[in-house]
Amino acid sequence: MYNINLEKSYQSVGEVEFVQGLSAASASGIYGSSRAAAAIIGHANLNLGSKVKPILESLVAASPNRFRGIRHIVAKDDDPKVVMRQVYDLKEQMNTKNFIEGAKVLANMGYGSRREIESWIFDGRIKLNNSLAKVGDRVSNKDLIYLDGNKIETAKIFRTRVVVYNKPEGEISSNDDPKCRPTVFDNLPSLKRAKWISVGRLDINTTGLLLFTTNGELANRLMHPRYQVERKYLVRVFGDVNQSDIDILKKGVLLDDEQAKFKTIERNKGASDGEKRLNNWFKVTLEGGKNREVRRLWESQGFEISRLKRIAYGPIDLQPFIRPGNYLELSIEEVQKLGASVNLAISFRGMRDERGNQARDEKKLRSRGTRSRKR
């Protein structure tokens, strides 16, 4: 299924495109009730180092709603008695500079961050309880971990943090933009030995709630279609929307060979008579959340979206005192509630809530928005 018409390093994109087509056909329901490929694992050569980035971006573009990461063969054995497929004939491949650099690119895109840690393990940079760590070792916050001889505070590693960010219009949901536009990551609190993972994305013209966490498993579950996490939006639709239009959007329409629909559609009662004819405000809820799904659903019925704001993600609502460009970190109780919504138990045993006093933080946000943009 590789696309031989592409440059050799990009040919694996064809594989993802092929499986994406099969899964879309399956999701249409035309071929029965079975659903194929809820997730797609592709391939990119990490030995390309930083040059692997455009290939990874092409894989994501080929399946923005199903792509989850890559597979990479690293096995090698010089014994002629060992019969194996050596795709990349490189000794100690995971310790090479290019492979580690490629793994970092993959991690920075939010995929396969464990690979970078594995490369440190193979390089002998990590010790666990004064012994060299091995891939597969189980670690708890009681263990002593050293990276390059420096002790790592395990409580901080295992502590799950979540922030609610109110995205303004004009920011992109990426931490790396070649056009140097402002990004949602510019305004988040700095972290040591961890990184913020975005729970989904909002396009540049969409505003409202974005969740960020340090827990990769929590982020994956919140985004995965399996858990059907509800997203709620406030949307302004240009045009005269009647009940038949609403019924169609709730029943479902075909978007790129996949069924999509709103779970609920509620007309905003606060709109004036004039707005009801020309600019209709709605609160809509959907489960899952594919690329630009809200806009594409309304556009499928001939309507134009002039405003779109996310106001809730699962059990978390965007509080009115969190101003655009500001964030609020969730308390331990709120993080555990969020984890429970996707059947993930999050433990804070032996850890204090470093987020600070919630009442104090909220008071500051209400008064002057202290969680503000970095200058």
Show which residues are catalytic. 203
H/E segment holding residue 25: helix 13-27
The neighbour count for residue 178, using CB atoms within 10 Å, is 6
Q: Which two tokens stand for residue 346?
A: 């999050």
Give the separation between CA 122 and CA 118, rounded to whole angstroms.
Answer: 6
Give the separation between CA 91 and CA 96, rounded to whole angstroms.
Answer: 9
Per DSSP bridges, beta strands 258-260 and 253-255 are antiparallel
H/E segment holding residue 309: strand 304-313
Give which of 131, 65, 61, 49 is closest to 98, Cα–Cα: 49
DSSP codes of every residue in 144-202: -EEETTEEE-HHHHH---EEEEEEPTT-BS-S--TT---BGGGGSPP-SS---EEES--
Q: Which two tokens stand for residue 244?
A: 């038949």
Give the separation between CA 114 and CA 191, rounded to whole angstroms.
Answer: 18
Sign of CA dihedral 153, 154, 157, 161: negative
- Give, in order, the Cα–Cα distances in Å from 207 to each of 134, 311, 374: 44, 9, 19
- Which one-letter DSSP state was computed for residue 371? S
Q: Where are the beta strands (DSSP E) in 186-248?
A: 197-199, 207-213, 230-238
- The answer to whether residues 58 and 13 touch, using CB atoms and an 8 Å cutoff, is yes
